């Protein structure tokens, strides 16, 4: 390997966090063009994992290292949220036995995952939702999660539980969402307030407050619900369920059955 090629490789390795993906557009910004990429691949320094995506030859990169590339190199408004964010923050203490864990990613509406990310096997089942759940112009409720040599953007618990409730309306388990909400005892009311005001889903806002009141969380007393638009009219969440008059939503009867069993 020539001296100039070797020098550029050393510079690249200094600024490229270990165990992350490097995409072709970012490599070009570092003056690493296709000819150099080919040379590094032949020299067993780089390994191609998909169209325009590379990892260091001797490293195993997981989905977090790929998400880092989406966020930091491609500047895509995609983050880890829902149950995945709650797991990373310690609110979920178990994973399904014998199954590939699901990783929940959320992106602004019309933001698609690149082909290399979708086609590569990250060892998990990627569940990606393009939503208009919150105002697209805000990053309210996002935080940085530090890993070994890099960090990724994930939802705070306040935003993550709302994302869980959003997925309840699309096949997620209502009972599991209830168990997760029951553990949300330390949510920050100011952030909850901002998220409720910035949430575009009437159903999610009503379901969030219904569950928060059902579990009698103390932080709800610090919310100013007069500033939250809960819409008008009834909302059906579960057919044949029980109707809650205050928030005018119909929830599964099994939700109450689970509560009654725990009280016995």
pLDDT confidence of 257, banded at 50, 70, 90? Answer: low
Tell me: the pLDDT tens digits for 15-48? 999 999 999 999 999 999 999 999 999 999 999 9
The proportion of the chain whose per-residue pLDDT surpasses 90, expressed as a percent, equals 69
pLDDT confidence of 176, banded at 50, 70, 90? Answer: confident
pLDDT confidence of 164, banded at 50, 70, 90? Answer: very high
Tell me: the pLDDT tens digits for 86-111? 999 998 766 566 678 899 999 998 89
Residue with tokens 């953007």: 153
The residues spanned by each domain of the chain are 3-56, 63-263
Q: What pTM, to 2 d.p., does this model score?
A: 0.90
Tell me: the pLDDT tens digits for 228-249? 999 998 887 777 778 888 888 8
């Amino acid at each position: 390997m020539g001296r100039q090629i070797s020098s550029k490789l050393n510079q690249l390795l200094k600024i490229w966090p270990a165990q992350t993906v490097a995409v072709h557009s970012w490599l070009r910004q570092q003056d690493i063009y296709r000819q150099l990429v080919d040379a590094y691949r032949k020299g067993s320094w780089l390994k191609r994992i998909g169209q325009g995506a590379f990892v260091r030859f001797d490293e195993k990169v997981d989905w977090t290292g790929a998400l880092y590339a989406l966020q930091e190199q491609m500047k895509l408004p995609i983050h880890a949220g829902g149950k995945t964010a709650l797991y990373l923050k310690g609110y979920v203490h178990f994973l399904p036995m014998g199954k590939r864990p699901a990783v929940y990613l959320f992106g602004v509406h019309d933001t698609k995952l690149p082909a290399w990310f979708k086609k590569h096997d990250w060892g998990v089942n990627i569940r990606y939702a393009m939503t208009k759940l919150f105002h697209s112009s805000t990053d309210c409720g996002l935080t940085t999660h530090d890993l070994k040599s890099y960090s990724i953007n994930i939802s705070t618990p306040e935003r993550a539980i709302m994302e869980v409730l959003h997925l309840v309306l699309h096949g997620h388990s209502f009972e599991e969402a209830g168990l997760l909400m029951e553990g949300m005892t330390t949510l920050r009311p100011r952030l909850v307030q901002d998220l409720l005001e910035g949430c575009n889903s009437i159903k999610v806002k009503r379901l969030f407050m219904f569950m928060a009141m059902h579990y009698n969380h103390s932080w709800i007393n610090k919310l100013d619900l007069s500033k939250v638009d809960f819409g008008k009219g009834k909302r059906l969440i579960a057919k044949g369920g029980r109707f809650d008059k205050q928030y005018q939503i119909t929830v599964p009867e099994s939700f109450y059955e689970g509560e009654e069993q725990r009280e016995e």
